[in-house]
Amino acid sequence: MKLEFKINNTSKAFELLPNETLLNVLRNNDFTEVKCGCNEGECGSCTVLLDGKPVNSCQVLAMSVQEKEITTVKGIGTLYTPHLLQKTFVEAGADQCGFCSPGMVLASYSLLKENPKPTREEILTALDGNLCRCTGYVKIVDAVEMTAQKLQTNNLEME
Amino acid sequence: MLHQNLEWFFPHKVEEAVKLIEQQGVILHGGGTRILKTSPKSIRGLVDVGKLNLNYIHHADKQISIGAASTYDDVIRYSAKTKKLSLLAQALSEAASTPLRNRITIGGSLKDFPIWSSLYAPLLALNAQIEIADKHDKVISLEEYLETGVIKTKHLIKRIIVEDEPHLIGGVKRFALIRFEYPLFTVAVALRVKKKIISEARIYITGVKGRHKHCKRAEHFLLEKELTDDIIQQATKHFTPKFVSDYKYSAEYKEQTAKVFFTDLLQELKGKL
Amino acid sequence: MFKYVNQPIEKIDGLALVTGEEKYTDDFSFNNMLYVSVLHSGYAYAKIIDIDDTEARKMHGVVEILSYKNVNQILYTTAGQGYPEPSPYDTLLFGKTMRFVGDNVCAVAAETKEIADEAIKKIKVTYKELKPILNLEKSEGSPIIIHKDDGAFPKIPVFYDAKKNIASKVEANVGDFDKAFKKSSRKIEFDFYCSYGAHCAIEPHASVSYLDLRGRLVIISTTQVPFHVRRIVSHVAEIPVSKIRVIKPRLGGGFGGKQEILLEPIVALMTWRTKRPAKLVYSRREVFKSTRCRHEYKTKLEVGYEADGTINALHLDALENAGGYGSHALTVLANAGSKTLPLLNKIENLRFTGMGVYTNLPVGGAYRGYGATEAYPGYAQAIDMVCEDCGLDVVEYYKKWCIKSGETSAIFQALGEGKEGVAMNIGSTSLVECLDEGAKLSDWYAKRKLYGPDSEYNKGKRLKRGIGMVAMMQGSAIPEIDMASAYIKMNDDGSFNLNVGATDLGTGSDTVLAQIASEVLDTPVESFIVYSSDTDFTPFDTGAYASSTTYLSGQAVRKCAEEIKKQILKVGAEMLSLSNDEVELNDSRVTAKENIKEEVSFAEICQYSLYQKNQFQIQATASHISPKSPPPFAVHFIEIEVDTFTGIIKVLNYTATVDCGTPINPVTSEGQVEGAIVNGLSYALFENYYFSPHGKMLNDTFGKFGVYTAFDVPPIKVKLIKSYEETGPYGAKSISEININGALPAIANAFYNATGKRLHNGPFAPESILKVLSEK
């Protein structure tokens, strides 16, 4: 069947089966920025935001989220108009292989949007569903702290 | 894998939902995080709870009602804002992960009670009641729900009811080596203390043989006593949960460690007094 | 000192990664593509009597099924190593004998993944179950022979005895161990067991193949070794090398797990036969069970020494569980000795003995650390024990006895990878400074005194604390065997194409190599258009393993850039009417040495040389092999707290001082250290494969296996302490592997400092720790 979904602020019609996960539907419709690391809700590389909150899209049945706002990492910022958070990830060296990066960016974005001055514990909690095997998380946490710092110093709002 | 020709229902009324799940192969869908792991191909239909108005948390007449479609995250936020339900929120905030806590519903988690669940122990310690809708609406204690097998019947969970007891002190501990792991056990203790004397004690542990245990002997021992180091040590002797060995840990290790965690928990509560 | 090297340049693919623009193998799809599913063996050891796929073939949408019935039985090794590979040719793509749970039975290609998965379920396989060997100590000489009369053979002339289940055997002797050990007044014997481990790269293994417009096979794959893939696919699928192109797109982590040719031959055959694109993506469970893992190891140390701490004789013995097949069985084993023993090069009598045995368990392969990880826990504890017995501080001991600049170790020559090694002298080391600095940063001396098993601090306490350390070495590339090459050409606007075979698996090598070229040509990193790992367009490189990319591929890039520099200076001189030695490079220009105002830009130079006079394309290629493998050094200090009631170990502080020569990119270098440390920690504290009594892995998901989240990481302090390696590009050595080796030994030593008990078994999981604590 064909249904309308709201992705990254646009309406898109997808062909899908009623038993398909949101991850599958997204990847089959060229949203390859949403990755599949385990398909069991354990690694977070399939993270998308549903109404601003991070979820594992591999554990979400697409039919149940037709009315939600879905945001992938490209909805935060693109290669052509990157978000401050994404630029800071690169600056901090938080990107090694990059496979966890879309999920990390979305989880961090969701945190900073609600809480622009998070404590270290709040950052670690926000990222506790995103696995990374390359970085040891050190520079990823740095990147989030740096972004929060930049927001404060430059009196910016998290867009 | 779910069936390709799955039928979806989005009822607006609880009665409709109840009627639908009476059918063979039709079950409720909350956050969906367990359905993909546990549902056999025989599931023909999913009844989404999203439009049933069950995602609320209300406080009225010294009772807190948690709608069954509330997520773990909803409960944690509510608790942070109101400073209530802290025992429950503490357990839930360490469970699973952020993206999962944004989807796991209280109702879904209650119905599907995996052995590593962190939800039951604190709710049982809070003496929670559960309102379910099947052919009739009824409110029973969560303990009854488990022990009389209501959990296994076809029904819709409407809400959990917890007494707002500001004079209750409680704590919960779970055994997990790393953050994202299926905890070995979760032990929850709630005490009512009047002038240093324990007037009420509720102790529950999940992850044991038989899934949950109401630790009545330890509770009974603590009544009318003061929480001292000596009493804590003795209480631990009455705390004897039984476990099953698995490929990672032996039953003996789990039993031994559960006792240590129980002692630690009582020590923490002693510190709060 | 350097303009572009040793600078924290942002990764050139960074923005494309964090905005989700870059693609990984599974992100590529093609019209008319088939989806492949593989049926894996549920038996640890079994013979296939028959495969009946008639039901599956009847299914709508099933296009092809591969099994022993229609795939030529060609022996090969899955190990991505240089040719001839130092691993036995003992594997068949689809054979009739299953040698571990997860081995390949057959594969189905269908119109959708769902149909392929359904078809797999309909395939009826008749097995004859055989009694398996599920214990590495029961393998050698067992009446059960895992490679029985199957023609398996070693590709290079090394010891191989399949009849005794021996996949590899290594021995190296220096001096006379027996005599010196006997004569020693003090002796230590120590053994250590290392468990299975998994890479857990977040991207699962995947391969996609298609035929291009001229009928050539193109394979896009999650590989660390594109050129080895090409050669091995050619061999197994019987397709000429000239008809194969292998491309590595972005790669989601490898750590050695993708230095293996596993999925590529399957999709290659599917595409070659059906003429259609084919995609195979392993599920996470398949990655755990059917790819490769860290070898299980038992090491034994015998140390003969004197009261003043002088070690006269040291014997390191290693027993390695190769699993069902012997990929990397020899080389990991050899490295267990070659990356440990030279560290204490003044020991005059050394023996290294090792044996890799076949079992019917998952197959060990390349995994960051590569034998050193498995040997350091026993080795470093033995040293710790010697020091304790002689009343010496371990840090001071390493400072005195470690290998120094200009020195050599007989082991370098004695222990190669399947043949003799390569003698070398240490050309660069800051190990002593690393020891001193690390001791300072971790507050080593004070804490060592404060803790201690009989200390006031720890006596009678439930939570005991201790601090332990380990000094380590690794290598940089495989000397005289591995080769890397680079190609550079110049463009009209002063930019350059830098094409390298070198494989960036997230390490940032594309950026690091561009930094090296930048430094030679005095032009910003943005001037380089880096294209890597495409066997049609990039020159040869063995691939990302053995910590070689910066050191080996980097030197090829440097040499190549030097050639380009000569050409640019020549044209620039011509344009300025000066002689070659009157001009120099200056910030993307050629300027007169005498007068900086006489200048001509790179863009002008290229336009001149492409279009105007004496036209030629400014381009060059260069190759490099290394005459030596200069070791990076690292010292790790770990402070722990042991809960003696539950056996849970908590890491309080982790300090690492590292000598990688010149860190070409300090940020990516630190990132390598941090990532390796966290991986080493999880391997030390809980990683393991739990098997059913029939050899099936039980904990085959991230949640059951256990992977650290950001929440679990302890405070980590990293300090890079420079040295300068003449044979490396701008003084660089390597950094990618060594830091995974520190956790097991340093935590074990810290445990002794806290409790007075030695640890003989990894991982240091709570129940086994509690057992150790309760033993007398």
Helix, strand, or coil (residue B221): helix
pLDDT over 90, % of chain C = 99
- d(CA A84, CA A153) in angstroms, rounded, equals 13
User: For helices C394-401 and C431-441, what crossing angle results, to 10°?
Assistant: 170
pLDDT digits (tens, 9 = 90+) for C116-127: 999 999 999 999
Sorted by sequence, the CB contacts under 8 Å of residue C157 that are 6+ apart come out as none
Q: A40 to chain B: which residues are within 8 Å by CB?
A: 37
Evaluate whether the domain defined by A84-153 bears CATH number 3.40.50.720: no
| Chains contacting C (3 or more CB pairs within 8 Å) | A, B
* Residue B267 touches chain C, beta carbons under 8 Å: no
ipTM, two decimals: 0.98
Mean per-residue pLDDT for A86-115?
Answer: 98
Helix, strand, or coil (residue C230): helix
C518 pLDDT band, cuts 50/70/90, is very high
Q: Mean of the per-residue pLDDT values for chain B?
A: 95
pLDDT digits (tens, 9 = 90+) for C419-467: 789 999 999 999 999 999 999 999 999 999 999 988 999 999 999 999 9
Residue C460: what pLDDT? 93
Q: B112 to chain A: which residues are within 8 Å by CB?
A: none
- d(CA B50, CA C649) in angstroms, rounded, equals 44
pLDDT digits (tens, 9 = 90+) for A10-64: 999 999 999 999 999 999 999 999 999 999 999 999 999 999 999 999 999 999 9
Residues forming beta bridges with residue B47, ordered by sequence position = B9, B28
- Tell me, yes or no, if the pTM score tops 0.90: yes
The domain locations on chain B are: 7-48, 57-163, 168-272
* Residue C693 touches chain B, beta carbons under 8 Å: no
- Token digits for A106? 């979305």
Residue B136: what pLDDT? 85
Closest approach of A11 to chain C, Cα-based (Å): 20
Q: A92 to chain C: which residues are within 8 Å by CB?
A: 667
The DSSP symbol for C242 reads G
Q: Do C202 and A93 touch (CB under 8 A)?
A: no
Mean per-residue pLDDT for C602-609?
Answer: 98
* Residue A133 touches chain B, beta carbons under 8 Å: no
Evaluate whether the domain defined by A2-74 bears CATH number 3.10.20.30: yes
Residue C220: what pLDDT? 98
Q: Do C685 and B253 touch (CB under 8 A)?
A: no
Residue in B214, B158, B191 with CA at minimum distance from that of residue B265:
B191
| pLDDT at position A154 over 80 | yes
Which residues does chain B have with pLDDT short of 50? none
pLDDT digits (tens, 9 = 90+) for C267-311: 999 999 999 999 999 999 999 999 999 999 999 999 999 999 999
The domain locations on chain A are: 2-74, 84-153
- Token digits for C395? 């840090």
Q: What is the bridge-based pairing of β-strands C217-221 and C244-247? A: parallel
pLDDT digits (tens, 9 = 90+) for C721-755: 999 999 999 999 999 999 999 999 999 999 999 99
* Residue A61 touches chain B, beta carbons under 8 Å: yes
| pLDDT at position C162 over 90 | yes
Query: Structurally, what CATH architecture does the domain formed by B57-163 represent?
Result: 2-Layer Sandwich (3.30)
Residue B98 has its nearest CB partner, among A21, A42, A129, at A129
Q: Do C699 and B177 touch (CB under 8 A)?
A: no
Closest CA in chain C for residue A142: C710
C218 pLDDT band, cuts 50/70/90, is very high
Residue B38: what pLDDT? 82
Chain A / chain B CB contacts < 8 angstroms:
77
Closest approach of A23 to chain C, Cα-based (Å): 13
pLDDT over 70, % of chain C = 100
Residue B32 has its nearest CB partner, among A17, A42, A64, at A64
| pLDDT at position C132 over 80 | yes
Residue B39: what pLDDT? 73
Closest CA in chain A for residue B39: A19
Q: Are B16 and B10 in contact (CB under 8 A)?
A: no
Which domains does chain C carry? 25-130+207-281 (3.90.1170.50), 296-478+628-774 (3.30.365.10), 483-625 (3.30.365.10)
Q: Are C43 and C101 in contact (CB under 8 A)?
A: yes
pLDDT digits (tens, 9 = 90+) for C545-574: 999 999 999 999 999 999 999 999 999 999
* Residue A51 touches chain B, beta carbons under 8 Å: no
Q: Mean of the per-residue pLDDT values for chain A?
A: 97
Sorted by sequence, the CB contacts under 8 Å of residue C519 that are 6+ apart come out as C2, C3, C4, C5, C730
Superfamily for the B168-272 domain: CO dehydrogenase flavoprotein, C-terminal domain (3.30.390.50)
pLDDT digits (tens, 9 = 90+) for B11-67: 999 999 999 999 999 999 999 998 888 877 789 999 999 999 999 999 999 999 999
Q: Do A73 and C8 touch (CB under 8 A)?
A: no
